[in-house]
Amino acid sequence: MKIPAFAIPLFLTAVSIGQGQVAGQTGSDRKVALPKVSIHADQPDSRHEPGTPARFRVEVTLEGAPLDTGSLSYVLSDDGYQPIESESLPLTGQPIFIEGKLERSGFLRCEAQWVANDGQVKKETRSVAAAAYAPEKITPSREAPQDFDAFWSEQKARLAAIPVEASLAQLERSDSKPVPDGVELFDLKVRTDAEWPVSGYFARPKAAKAGSLPAVLWTHGAGVRSASAWKAINGAQNGFLSLDINAHGIENGKPEDYYKLLESEGRLKNYRYQGRENRDGMYFRGMFLRLIRAIDFLTSQSEWDGRVMAVVGHSQGGAQALAAGGLDSRVTFIGAGVPAMCDHMGMMRRRISGWPKLVPLLPDGKPDPTVAEVSRYFDGVNFAARCHATAIVSVGFIDTTCPPTSCYAAFNQLRGQVEIINEPEMGHDAPERIQKAFFEALQRHVEQRKSAAD
């Protein structure tokens, strides 16, 4: 299959995920180990000239020994969007080498799995690796609409006409645990221009002096859940005005079934697609405006230092961080982990799009033109292009939810001081090491802003 040759692959980073032994059961209830498929880049540190192939080394073992029965089925693709090559190869007990290439910026993805002699596909043995081709050259699939800024200016003006009215209920305990000494915790609601308010947990150090504290807003990934009191508390313990908001303006601290019902049968069922035919009715319009109102609240606190306003989240929370940074000039720092909602129109360039795959395809295979147009007003790439804040972003090379191609399309548009954490072996995740790196970057930002002000 030919790939358009209009970009130059500058470097390769290849990765692997090896599946552990997966236990099945026979009729006698005896556990049977399945083969393990491991994929590694043959030369992960090498640089590649235009059209130079990447090579993957694949080994199939059973309980540590090379396997020579069955076959290996593999697919090479452009980050999971379009197959480049697929084949099934017999196993001989020796490593198998798979070669492929991209002629444009992106990620060459290799997926492989073991197939039994009887033709049964064993999906549990699936393993994935990816090679990066000049991701710093990835650009958005479409430009922002001409009235993008006018649209959002109007939305913000409507919000600004509503007073910043907050209700705070102080809490002495959260999740059956006492609030730590030295911290005040509140269940917070802030009025917006819609039915659903900002809703979260706000924490601050006790007896902080006026103008002494940076502020941080924590945002949530996809799904329906309460805000996190302990996330807010952790920020306060580290010297921040700290606000963790749920994504939907709903009540906090309810039983788990409350949130499950909202998502499965209630008003938040398939919320990610609600209103996508109309930019004024688009669900994410309200979510993004709640970010601005949350920032209104934080920056109105007497303890705010006037220097640092950070927004940090992962996945859908990363999309919110990009939106906040692009819509509100008060934001000085964003942390966007594996950001969702990036490059909705990827199919226009025969590329993968990010979560939630917002634009459906019509029966003729073309994108729905109405939704496609609306999506441009809610695309992370367009918010990133307007974000001058210091930014740290993470990307997983084998992420199928927020694919690396879509994440880089947004990252490359950021206008401020930027840093990216490339995770070759990571899928869609926000592991502790990345959260730690994000917080350390935020702390450095606080020190830099403080030094600049002195």
Q: Which pLDDT tens digit goes with each residue over 229-286?
A: 999 999 999 999 999 999 999 999 999 999 999 999 999 999 999 999 999 999 999 9
Give residue 14's pLDDT.
40
CATH H-level superfamily of 148-453: Alpha/Beta hydrolase fold, catalytic domain (3.40.50.1820)
Every domain range in the chain assigned CATH 2.60.40.2550: 23-137
Q: What's the token pair of residue 311?
A: 């927004």
Would you place residue 15 in the very low, low, confident or very high pLDDT band (cuts 50, 70, 90)?
A: very low
Q: What is the pTM assigned to this prediction? A: 0.92
Gap between the Cα atoms of 271 and 56, Å rounded: 40
Q: What's the token pair of residue 321?
A: 């961080």
Give residue 16's pLDDT.
38
Q: Which pLDDT tens digit goes with each residue over 111-144?
A: 999 999 999 988 899 999 999 999 999 999 999 9
Would you place residue 43 in the very low, low, confident or very high pLDDT band (cuts 50, 70, 90)?
A: low
Give residue 44's pLDDT.
60
Cβ–Cβ under 8 Å, residues 97 and 41: no
23-137 CATH, one of 3.40.50.10680, 1.10.10.10, 3.40.50.360, 2.60.40.2550: 2.60.40.2550
Q: Which pLDDT tens digit goes with each residue over 70-102?
A: 999 999 999 999 899 999 999 999 999 999 999
Give residue 31's pLDDT.
64
Give yes or no for residue 30 having a pLDDT over 60.
no
Give yes or no for residue 12 having a pLDDT over 90.
no
Gap between the Cα atoms of 19 and 113, Å rounded: 10
**Mean pLDDT, the chain, as a whole number?**
92
Backbone angles phi, psi at 65, to 5 degrees: -105, 140
Q: Please tell me whether residue 435 adopts helix, strand or coil conformation.
A: helix
Measuring CA to CA, which residue among 165, 60, 164, 69 is closest to residue 119?
69
434 sits in the region (left: phi over 0; alpha: psi -120 to 50; else beta) called alpha
**Which residues sit opposite 202 in a β-bridge?**
186, 243
Measuring CA to CA, which residue among 372, 369, 336, 370 is closest to residue 357?
372
Give yes or no for residue 424 having a pLDDT over 70.
yes
Q: What's the token pair of residue 420?
A: 């990216």
Give residue 33's pLDDT.
87
- Residue 222 identity: A
Q: Please tell me whether residue 310 adopts helix, strand or coil conformation.
A: strand
Measuring CA to CA, which residue among 302, 203, 204, 196 is closest to residue 247?
196
Give yes or no for residue 166 having a pLDDT over 70.
yes
Percent of the chain whose predicted confidence (pLDDT) is above 70? 91
Gap between the Cα atoms of 198 and 397, Å rounded: 34
Every domain range in the chain assigned CATH 3.40.50.1820: 148-453
